Every structure is written in structure tokens, then in C-alpha cells.
Amino acid sequence: MKAVTLTDGRLEVADLPTPRPGPGQLLLAVRRCGICGSDLHARKHADELADVLAVCGYPRYLRPAQQVVLGHEIYGDVVERGPSTTGRIRPGTPVVAVPLVRRDQQVDGIGLSADAPGGYAEHVVVQESLTLPVPNGLAPDIAALTEPLAVAWHAVNRAEVTKKDVAVVLGCGPVGLAVIAVLKSRGVATVVASDYSPARRALATRCGADVVVDPATGSPWSALDGHGFVTAMPVEYAAGIDAMEGLHRLPVPWWTAWRALDRLGATRPKRPVVFECVGVPGMIDSVLAAAPLHSRIIVVGVCMGADAFRPALAVNKDLDLRFVVGYTPLEFRDTLHALADGKLAVSHIVTGHVGLDGVDGAFTALADPEVHAKILIDPTIR
């Protein structure tokens, strides 16, 4: 089969043996494979990522000197079933798959390890138990977005957002755009988006963002004015004294009244939910410094290498800082069906298609945010 390999930063089209599905596995003919930001990172920062994942207990992440077939945002048709499969998915069925594969009890990330070739190829092996038939005749370009949208779905779940919350999305690349789409599909009333790129701000609007800010000329934090968020510690302390003076005037002990208000949720501070989708050094610290007191901050962007932030900012502002990765199989399934039901406004995120011969050029093009958001590989394009 034809495949695109990455070795020492070089992307090359190569002839490789077509993989064979093992026990519990399926062989797919790849119809679409998205180019992910983690693929771009892998080309230049593979050792940094591999070192981090080794600390996390996974020592098989790709290394620069290895020949690796990238690609984990996969949509394809079932070609062959391996031994010990259930037979529930027939050959010819269009599917998407959680990009994990197990061989001899070792689990690898498809397209992220030399031991699990990915979807930058004509064929790829996936795990049957992690594979889902595509429903409702969903278009290939949309079905191929299941994996990156599932990342956003998980991030929004981890944020525990309600419809009444105000959400701030910093960075409108593919991940930020996906987060915006998921937030709006959940009925979140106010979504503020921020990006330096005019093209990506326009895409954020199409994904449903209610307020879109150019941080070169304005501040996303200013868009939070009027929502009742506290931005200075003395203001909160003064409000606390006012509240205590009022409670002392009641005919019951103040602590009894406070506990009753607690049960009603009346003492819960107002706070926005912030999604950091940029992933460059200094972003976390800048968010800690600028966000209102009590903000919940979800770090979705992957910062390469070491970074630094001031914990005292988070401590003194009582901030909630959460980091996210991946998704569960249920979140993956729910994302696929939300796409199939038309609940996610994401069709415009796909801005280009290339064949295997065009992958190297696509990596270059994706460096310019004014040109592309998401490029899909179609191995049938010649």
C-alpha cells in the first residue's frame, strides 16, 4: 500500500506492506484522515512528547529516528475482519474508530507509535471493539471530524458547564472551534471567543460564538463585564462583610442562615468557564492573571516543552485549573451521533483536502492560520 512516513522530520510517500488485522481487529480502507495539531507537533517535538509520555508510563511514543505512519482521525470502510472478531460490522461498512490498538496485551496509539501505523495510508488496522459504524449516511468529511470533536466533547464534559454559564474560548484553531461548537450544542448561552487571526475569528462566528474578540485590539475579559464576576479581591471581601452584617440582623444565628443559603446555592460565587486552546508558553499564567476570581479554567491546548506559572495567582483567586486529554468510548460515540443528528455546526472547519502526495505541503499550509483550519487526507486523490 501507499503511505506517508515520518522519519527525522521528513514526510515521504512510501510503499509499505498492507497490514493484516490480528485477533479482534479490522482492516480499513482509509477514506479520510485528518491532520491533527499533535501530528504537527510530532514532526518537530517528538522527543519532548516521548519523554513526557514515558513519565506517564507509555514508552512507545514515536521517536524522530523511527519510521512512523501518522494519522489518528480516521474514517474508512471495513475491508477485512481478523480472527476472533464478533462479525457485527460487515465488510464495506463505513466506520470511525477510537485510535487505540492492542497486540499481545500491549496497547498503542494508532498513528502515534512506530508499533501502530496510522491513517496517512491506504489501509489501517483498528480494534473492532472501538469501532463504530457511521450512522445516517453521514458525509465522510463530517464523520472524519468525530475524533477531534470528541476531544472537545470531553473537555466540555470536564468543565461541567451549564446553560447559564459564560464560556471563554481562547484560541480558535481546530480545537477551539470544536469546543465552541460543542458548547453551543449544549445550549450555553454566552460563548466569548478570542483569536488573532481574522479567518479563525470568522470561523468562530460560524461555529456559534456570541462574542468574537481580536486580542490585538480588545480583551476577551472585557466581554465579561456586566455578568457579575468579581475581578478584585477587596471587592469580594467588602461584599463578605456586607453579607455578614446583614446576617447578624436576622433573628436566627448567622451560621444557620448561611448553611440554608449554601443548600440553596445562593453562596456559590459567579464564575466563567475558560478554555485555554492555544498551548504556548505563558498562556496559563496569563489566564490565571486575567481571569475573574473563582474561574474554572480548562487547559485543552498542548504546550510543548516546559512552562511556568505562578501558583499564588491561582491560590489567591481561588481558581479551578483542570487539564484534559482524549475522551471515553462513550464520549466518542455521543460525538459521532451528535454529528449525524446535525447538532454540531462544524462543516466549515474542513478547509482543504489532499492526497498522500500533498501531505508535506499541507503541513506547511497549516502553519498559516489565514489559509486553513482542518485539512483532510483522502488517499484516493492522485
pLDDT, tens digit, for every residue of 218-252?
999 999 999 999 999 999 999 999 999 999 999 99
Q: Exposed, middle or buried: residue 98 (CB in 10 Å: 0-12, 13-18, 19+)? A: buried
Q: What is the pLDDT of residue 382?
A: 87
* Separation of alpha carbons 193 and 213, rounded Å: 6
For residue 347, pLDDT over 90 is answered with no
Q: Which residue has the cell 463505513?
A: 94
* Separation of alpha carbons 179 and 303, rounded Å: 18
Q: 119: closest CA among 359, 364, 329, 373?
A: 359
Q: Exposed, middle or buried: residue 216 (CB in 10 Å: 0-12, 13-18, 19+)? A: exposed
Task: Give 348-376 pLDDT, tens digit per residue.
Answer: 999 999 999 999 999 999 999 999 999 99
Q: What is the pLDDT of residue 304?
A: 83
For residue 305, pLDDT over 90 is answered with no
* pLDDT-wise least confident of 21-25, 175-179, 180-184, 300-304: 300-304
Q: What is the pLDDT of residue 282?
A: 95
Task: Give 262-299 pLDDT, tens digit per residue.
Answer: 999 999 999 999 999 999 999 999 999 999 999 999 99
Q: What is the pLDDT of residue 334?
A: 98
Q: What is the pLDDT of residue 85?
A: 96
Pair 154, 80: CB distance under 8 Å: no
Q: What is the pLDDT of residue 118?
A: 98
Beta bridge mates, 168? 192, 274
Pair 78, 91: CB distance under 8 Å: yes
* Separation of alpha carbons 258 and 36, rounded Å: 49
pLDDT band at 340 (very low <50, low <70, confident <90, very high): very high
Neighbours of 139 (CB within 10 A): 16
Cell of 57: 508510563
Q: What angle do CA 34, 36, 42 make, to 5 degrees?
A: 130
Mean pLDDT of the chain: 96
